[in-house]
Structure 1
Amino acid sequence: MQKKLVGLLEQALFASAVFILVLLAFETKIVIPVWLQPLGRMHPLILHFPIVILLLAVVVEAFRFRKASVTVQSESNTASFSEFYKTFSANLLLVGALLAAVTVIMGLFLSREDGYTGTVVQWHKWTGVATFFLAALIYWARSREWYTPVMAQSGAVLMSVVLIGAGHYGSVITHGENFITAPLQKQKNTDPVDLQQALVFNDVIKPIFEQKCTSCHNPDKLKGELALTDAESIQKGGKSGKLYVAGQPDISLLLKRIHLPVEEKKHMPPSGKAQLTPTEIKLLALWVKGRAEFSRKVVELPATDSLRIMATTLFKPKQQTKTEFAFEAADDETVKKLNTDYRTIAPLAKESPALAVNLYNKAAYSSEKLQELSSIKKQVVYLNLNKLPVKDADLKYISQFENLEKLDVNFTDITGKELNQLAPLKQLQSLALSGTPVKYADLQKQVGTFKNLKTVALWETGLTEAEIHQLQKSYPAIQFIAGFDGEKSEPIRLNPPQLKNLPIFAQSTPIQLKHPVKGVEIRYTTDGTDPDSINSPICDGKTIITEGTTIKAKAYKSGWFSSPVATFNYYKSGYKPDSATLLMPLNPVHQAEGANTFFDHKLGTLNANSPAWANNWAGVRKNDLVLVSEFKKPISISSVDLRTMIEPETGIFPPAEIEIWGGNSRDQLKLITTTHPNLPAPKSDPVLKAVGCTFKPQTVSYLKIIAKPVSKLPEWHPSKGKQGLLLVDEVFIN
């Protein structure tokens, strides 16, 4: 290497040392500009070069003082070889030290971003800094007279130790604490957890976090100020707020981040990391839906609970015997084909041939769905048809499952008159008939045909307490479960009321609310206050509203705690255009049904990136939303509202500006009014809200609505300066 170049590199090495010392001295006061952050994120890419070069350099340096092991022809040759070796060693060490300096600087830049806190990060930082300064010190000392072979060898050993330490702590940051020893630990812990002792969180949910999340969300690498290593940290949440809303996966941050497109910056796990499987996503959603409990056992969940059914396959039964079932397991491909969006089939336990079948969705149900299961009729031991329109005629298809042990037909249309069709089911032990129109006479006559029946659930049927008592007396070997009596038991909390009718109307509509528990009294308000059990009116379905109204409602029943307040919005939509056209493109992710979306009376929900709801939201980000509507007969209008999603945390904002244009010709429209909706405050909750404007009545045949997305997110937002996303699902013209 030319002396001039060596001199420049030595100056760069000295300057790097000074710059690193400045960064360390003023670390807490330095703010890394956005344009420099990508440089910091190249730290993992560059760090491998100095590791290899420095290790090679110190090894070469350690052997510099040894005599060449080869025989040379003359003293001049020996001197020439020695000089080459010395120069090569120096150049290698200089290049390695400079690359280490670049890596350290990048790492210090990266450490200023959110989430790089904790003991491991500090150890990685200081061992990395020590690597650079040790390399620079060896390079500076190697040309001094007092530099001895012992010092060279000691420097090589020390450099190796420091480099290995820095690399180890770096791997802990990126891959988790047990990354190196994990295979050994897995080999040790091969025995499945006992099902009777398994906890929903510790043994089902926590392993998902450990495999896919804790490498970035642990006390030593606190990305987003969120740790997922223990229950307390998970309940606390992180910088963006609570991780979940108990019982509501659709609006929980955990599920929102998971359902974001992989290319989105906030998608979790990040692109490039191992992604969650569909099963893992469903388990997390079911856990949150079940109120995200941390101490409950799997076997304490109801037998029909989807989380229990899925989790059971992960564990061994308490007493596992190979001869428990006489039949062989069904073909895996057959089971896979029979699984659909509305029918799940899963083993009762790991390596068990017995299958549990759950059917969902009233609209998708038909007796053919039962007939399709004939290929696995021997393996089905549990069948759940809860809340489906199952008729007495369907019992003959259920009777094909010769090894069926548990049958759930709660809240179906089974009358009990033809229960004898199930007589071939010699293994049937549990029959759930709650919420069905069964009669005492039919049960008294037919229950005796089941020789192995142990339990019959009959709560919320028309049977009286005396009739159930008589059944119990007639069949003492069977337990007849009458269920919960709110007036005789400890009170529990009611679920919130539900909306019964479509909340969009043209002229008027009744306020109609419902509740799944019989005998509940629903009280409501329309003035924004919370309803009470004395003064607020009772919802009887007769109150008529003629304007858009916000309803707050609570459910009450003797012997129960009142429900939480439920809020519903009724929207008035007086006019529907004869045709509608979008003049500018929609966001590729949120196309919905194009212009038809705004007048189809299909309301979207929070979590617009969930596949189940994405078709209801039309969105724009890079351009305005421009909608032109035509009315064949002129109409008189005085208000226009857009129903929008507002979710500040994910950058979904209301429009920055709305313009309303109107006229009798498409080419000669006049500006009627302009409005600027209020932008959300920091850390405000997600909300679905109609925003728009009112104005003096205008007669129009054509109406143009221009909604402009926020061009720059506010300073308080993590993505400040970027464009906001505008989502609209309905337009109300009155």
Structure 2
Amino acid sequence: MESVSKPTHQHLPNPKEPAWAGWVYNVTFFLNGLLIFILIFENSFAVPYWMQAVGRMHPLVLHFPLVVLMLYAFWTLIVEKKDSTRWHENLADTLFLIGIFTAVIAAFSGFILSQEEGYEDNALFWHKWMGIAISIGGIVWYSFRHYLPIWKIPAKILAAAFLFLLIVGGHLGGNLTHGEDFLISPIPVSNETEKKVAIEDAKVYDDLVQPVLQQKCYSCHNAEKSKGNLQMQTKELLAKGGKNGILWDTTKADLGLLLNRVHLPLDDKKHMPPRGKVQLTDEEIVLIAAWVKDGSRFDQMVSSLSPQSAVYAYAENILGGGRTEEEYDFSAANADKVKELNTNYRLIKSLSAESPALFVNFYNRANFKAEDISALLPLKEQIVSMDLSKMPVKDEDIKAIAQFPELRKLILNFTDVQGTTLGELKKLTKLRELSLSGTSVKLAQVKVLEQTPSLKKVYVWSTGISTEELALLRKEKKISFETGYRSDTVVLALNPPIIENENQIISGGTKITLKHQIPGTTIRYTLDGREPDSTTSLVYKKPIDIAKNTKIKARAFKNGWYGSKGVDKYFFKSAFHIDSVRLITQPDVKYPAQKDITIADGVKSDNTPSSGKWLGYRDQPFESYLFFTNSVKAQNVTLSMLRNVGGYIFPPTRIEIWGGKDEKNLKLLKVLTPELPVKETPNVDNMVFEADFESQELSCIKIIAKPLAKLPAWHPGKGEKAWVFVDEVFVN
């Protein structure tokens, strides 16, 4: 009889495969085909508004297929022979099928998410294509698994390649979400390379502000992932801001975008850092706000701040707690000698419990004698700080002080020192800080201190040095001269006034109200676009009536103060209620706002394109009808629009206003040709276009606004189409 060999189970479909597996396989096969199709036409694919939620699900679904497929690949690698007891085909097939089904769901949602802005192109490219390769490769492997025996080399090579794709693709996704160093950031830096900064050498931005931004902001605003086109990893990029403009503005009550987003409620989608991320502490928020208020300087030293300032207190907590005490190379003093030299008017103590260094404070001016300094010479190798404030120390006593070679800090405030022997201090090669406040020293004596090799800071407020001479000292580079606050010479600037009206749309008898927190302040304002001055501009005395669209500009003035920076706000007059709106052309799916309702809902959007309140047009003009149940006698149509040069949002090239009794009987009332931005034009602003025409009865108005077909050569997106954004239309 002719023998017939039985086929092995690895080469044929599993007869025990459940019925549902076929359905899952077919759905997975279809979704992979759909994924390939939209990839081919990616440039023409626009994500519908409702589908954006599918993309946001990507972080929720991607981890499951990663784990399942890695488990299957590992399982394939450890099976060493045909009849291995480690292999359970039914369980393995089920595991693999679930893995490839969830993988295509993750790949599809990831593709939708990739259409959003804010991701670095190169990293996104590789992560996207690795995810697609995993999904398509998985369905192919599953389809032909019976022809790839898992105990043979080809299957193991395929499993190893799959593991590589899963690990690298997952790592790139982590970089996009959390930043390049997310994986290794918890690993502490070795003691040898850790940067240790003394508070006197620290900079406000480099050593205080930037570490906060690195921990709380860089993961979403870096070269790999730049949400809102904002990157923070360099000072230049931070100062540049993102598509919503610069990050700080001291003329605004909330100090601008950065602090505004930080203070939003945690549930607000614009709150930063986003919900789920580590939030800024109250101290960190105060630090950043104080830095912005003080001019957001990148070169400001912590030592230049008042010790009473919030930033200085923060620096003491952070740098004081994170840095190690200075290491001293001398041995500790004899404890009995220290005890012997301690008296009721002279205190000698160690800097800390384990430190050999000593500091000395003198008390009781009436009992002080010059010999009290020389008496400390047995401890001259251990004393690093000496406070002689308000003691009757004279110039000749400086020679005794110069015999303490380890001295780092010397305080001579309100002593009898005239400064004639300050040159003796050059013998103190380790002296870093000297305070002469309240003494009679002159400029010539203080200039001698430049010969003291290690001296970094000298306090000279309330001395015999004139205001002009103090100004010269502040220009010194080698030594930082702290000259203190002089109320007779410093003039402060007022804060800008506050425009109390929040609603920018005015109707009926609404009036504009201004105020200032400081009593006796004069608020001057203009309504014609000019900058207010202290002499000719209108003085605010009572709430202001608005008869038409008006931009109010205001400044505050007061004797003995510098005038404030300006504040401004545009108010729209809305005389006629628009009964209904019909959009002729539909907005882009990315910026649909509330469709027809948007034009006349009385809600003015902020300058954020993603606010959900802007109608966005790019591939076609904005065209709309406005209808009035009863005709109105109109002579003005005003369009509220947005300019965001970095976000490709430009003014329209042409605006047409048509009017008549109905949509079939319209005539051209006005044509506007707005001026296009140039390279120097401010990035973000709310634009207002007013079309005035002869007063007439109208029941229907048609508006057309045509977007710029090609961005100019100076723009990064040169040659591409520009956007037109509209949020409100007013008829007067």
User: What is the TM-score of this pair, normalised by structure 1?
Assistant: 0.50
Structure with larger Rg:
2
